[in-house]
Amino acid sequence: MVNTSVALSGLVLDNPVIAASGVFGYGREFAELYDINILGSFSIKGTTLLPRFGNPTPRIAETYAGMINSVGLQNPGADKVLEEELPNIAKIFRKPVIANVGGFSAEQYALCAEKLAAAPNVGLIELNISCPNVHGGGMAFGTDPAAAAEVTRAVKAAVSKPVYVKLSPNVTDIAEMAAAVEEAGADGISLINTLLGMRIDLRTRRPVLAAGMGGVSGPAVFPVALRMVYQVYEAVSVPVIGMGGVSSAEDVIEMMLAGATAVEIGAANLTDPFCCRDIVNALPAAMKKYGIENLSDIIGGAHG
C-alpha cells in the first residue's frame, strides 16, 4: 500500500493535491460533481480586506495550451468570507483549507489575513503578492524583494497560523525573492503565479482583454514553473508548494522531484472539473509505476 500523505508546516494532507485559488471558488460547484474531500486541500478564492468587483470584461482569453485571465481579485471581502463562506465550506469539506489573501498595502494584507486566520477551518495563509503596492507607486509586491519581505513580516506579526508566500514568476531572480520572504519569516513558498501575457484581436486590432494584459496559465507554463520550483528549493529551507500547468499525476510527481512538498492545480480544473479527483485517484498507480512507496520520500529527489 503506497503512502500519499505529505506535511506542510505541521498540516498533514492525505495527498499533495490542492485545488488552486481562483479556479475552485469556495468549493460548492465542484462539491456538486464529486466528493471534494478526496483532495489534500484547496485554496479559496483570493480575498481582499474590502469587497472588489474586479476588472472590466472581457477578462479571459484562450491561448495555445492555456489561457490568459485578468479577473482583478473579484471577491466579497474578508468579513463576508469569514462570516459566510468559510462556515459554508466547513459543511462540505471536513479538512483545513488554505486562505489566499491579497492587498494593496502591508497593513491591508495583515488585517485581511488576521480576519481569515480566525476561522477554525483555515489551516494556513497563502499571500498573493502579485497585487500592486499602492504605497510603492503601483509596482507589485512580488517584483521587489524588500516589499515582499515587508508584507511577509506584517502578516507574520498578525497571525499565528503558517504563512506561505505565493511568488510571481515575472522577476529576474526567483531565488532572490524566495530567500527574501524566508528571511522575513515565511513558513513556506507557493509558486508560480501566472506569467504576464496578452493576445490581440486581429479584427479589432486591440488587445482581447479589457485590461490589455493578463496572467498566462495552463500546460504551456509547466516547464517554467518546474524550473522555478527547482531553483527555489535550492534557495530556501522551508516547504514549497509547486504549481503552474499541472494536469496529471505524473506532473505532480515531477513537481515533487523538483522540490515541491504539495502541488496546486489551477487551469486544468476549468477544462475538466474532475481533474483534481482523477489525479488523486491516479497517484497510487503512478507511484507504483515509478517505484515510489512514500510520496514524501521523493521531495527534491531530482537534486544532486
Condensed to tens digits (0 to 9), the pLDDT of residues 133-149 reads 667 666 789 999 999 99
- Positions marked active-site: 131
Nearest to 95 by CA among 21, 189, 156, 15: 15
pTM as predicted: 0.97
**pLDDT digits over 154-166, tens only?**
999 999 999 999 9
Q: What is the predicted pLDDT for the residue at 131? A: 77
Q: Check: CB of residue 189 under 8 Å from CB of residue 241.
A: yes
How far apart (Å, rounded) are the C-alpha atoms in residues 23 and 43? 9
Region 66-78 average pLDDT: 94
pLDDT-derived band at 58, boundaries 50, 70, 90: very high
Kind and range of the H or E run holding 197:
strand 195-197
How far apart (Å, rounded) are the C-alpha atoms in residues 151 and 224? 26
How far apart (Å, rounded) are the C-alpha atoms in residues 182 and 82? 27
The residue assigned the cell 524550473 is 227
What phi, psi does 206 have (nearest 5°)? -130, 160
Grid coordinates representing 205 are: 486590432
Domains and CATH numbers, the chain: 6-54+72-196+215-298 (3.20.20.70)
Kind and range of the H or E run holding 7:
strand 6-8
Adjacent-strand bridge partners of 214: 197
DSSP secondary structure letters along 243-276: ESS--SHHHHHHHHHHT-SEEEE-THHHH-TTHH
Q: Check: CB of residue 198 under 8 Å from CB of residue 62.
A: no
Where does residue 34 rank: exposed (0-12), middle (13-18), buried (19+ CB within 10 A)? middle
Adjacent-strand bridge partners of 6: 13
Q: Check: CB of residue 61 under 8 Å from CB of residue 200.
A: no
Q: Check: CB of residue 47 under 8 Å from CB of residue 78.
A: yes
pLDDT-derived band at 290, boundaries 50, 70, 90: very high
Q: What percent of the chain has pLDDT over 90?
A: 94
